[in-house]
Amino acid sequence: MNSILGYLKKPLVIGICAVILGFALGLVWGWVVQPVRWTDVPPTALGSDYQVDYLRMTIDSYGLNGNQDLAKKRWADLGTSSQSALQVIQTYPNGQDSTLILQFREMVMGVPISATPVPVADGGTQKEGSTIGRVALIGLAILAILVVVYALIKFLKPNIQLRRPQPSVKQVENYTSEPQMPDYSMMGDRSPLAQFVATYVSGDDLFDDSFSIDSASGEFMGECGVGISETIGVGDPKKVSAFEVWMFDKNDIQTVTKVLMSAHAFNDAATFQRLQAKGEPIQVERGQKITLETATLQMIATVAESEYGQSALPVESFFNRVTLELAIWQKSQPIG
């Protein structure tokens, strides 16, 4: 997952997404917002549906003014499409006077009315293929936009978090201050490349903090984070019994993960074996330091706070609050 996040931050991938989004927006703009509007177009350049409409208006005009010369000119303007358009009108009058249609046909083609059988569709309507095609194209463009927007939100903005449930008033009263970041320079150590604090409080069922690791010059180096790995029992809020702390290095092929477990989960054979597949299992203890290393990065995750919850579940089986301090160094820079 996190290797995908790093891959999608590359300029080439961002450029491809931008091209796809631009293409989709262009289609919507060209077909819906500001479509091309033709003026002074000859009837022969119209689509078949519009040529039929043009001939219908010509027949109506002939019925009103009886101008044969004008009607024949408009008939001739349709070129080779005139007869097929007239056949459509005869088959689907759509409310036009059938006698007037036959009189117009006799006038422009010299065919007596008695010699012209007229098949009329009962209540039929023309199929507007071009309209259907346009609707399909607009639908595909909208779908493409939705896919690209989803990809941008899901992958290119990993730090966007869903709104989490707010802790209760009692929790706010109990935890009014966040732990201070340790000053490694005061300890005689080299200052880390980046420092973060991730705090879980019971009731935060969507807890999943992730942070971007950038160099002093702003270059993307990787990512790290903490999320829920395992719960115990049923009901709300979730009873979290294990967390995953992870680090992704853009110069490494894998994401390093360690699983921080409650005492009960750590000592339960089935749970221990199941979580072991996700990463190295570690029992959480206050003040504990967990080290994660990749090809070029090293992270020390310090358990600043750890408090178990109480219920009918086994003792020390789930957490009420956990705070981790994450400090990251480049491995080329020794610590201390």
Residue 155 has what pLDDT?
57
Instruction: Identify whether residues 22 and 92 lie together within a single domain.
Output: no
Number of domains into which the chain is organized: 3
Question: Does residue 316 fall inside a structural domain?
Answer: yes
Report which residue type is found at 324: L
Q: Examine the domain organization and report whether 16 and 95 are in the same domain.
A: no
In a domain, 163, yes or no: no
Q: Based on the fold, state whether residues 320 and 175 are members of the same structural domain.
A: yes
State whether 321 and 309 are in the same domain. yes
User: What is the C-alpha to C-alpha distance for residues 155 and 148, in angstroms, rounded to an integer?
Assistant: 10
Which residues, listed in sequence order, are joined to residue 209 by a DSSP beta bridge?
226
Query: Cβ distance 176 to 199 under 8 Å?
Result: no
Domain that holds residue 12: 2-36+130-156
The whole-chain average pLDDT of the chain stands at 79
User: Does 6 share its domain with 70?
Assistant: no
pLDDT in tens, 100-132: 888 888 888 876 655 444 444 444 444 445 566
265 and 141 belong to one structural domain: no
Q: Please write the tens of the pLDDT for every residue from 248-257.
A: 999 888 889 9
Given a cut of 60, whether residue 318 has pLDDT beyond it is yes
Judge if 257 and 141 occupy the same domain: no
* 211 domain residue, yes or no: yes
Please give the residue that has the higher pLDDT: either 41 or 51: 51
pLDDT at 274: 92
Residues 218 and 314 in one domain: yes
pTM of full prediction above 0.85: no
Please choose, from the candidates 241, 161, 176, 159, the residue with its C-alpha nearest in 3D space to the C-alpha of residue 202: 241
The residue among 77 and 121 whose pLDDT is bigger is 77
Token pair, residue 99, equals: 């006698």
Compare 304 and 10 and report the one with higher pLDDT: 304
At residue 184, does pLDDT exceed 80? no
Residue 286 lies in a domain: yes
- If asked whether residues 144 and 250 sit together in one domain, one would say no
Q: Measuring CA to CA, how many Å separate 231 from each of 171, 236, 264? A: 20, 11, 12
* 205: pLDDT strictly greater than 80: yes
| Same-domain pairing of 28 and 141 | yes
| Integer Cα distance of 227 and 242 in angstroms | 9
- Domain membership flag for residue 277: yes
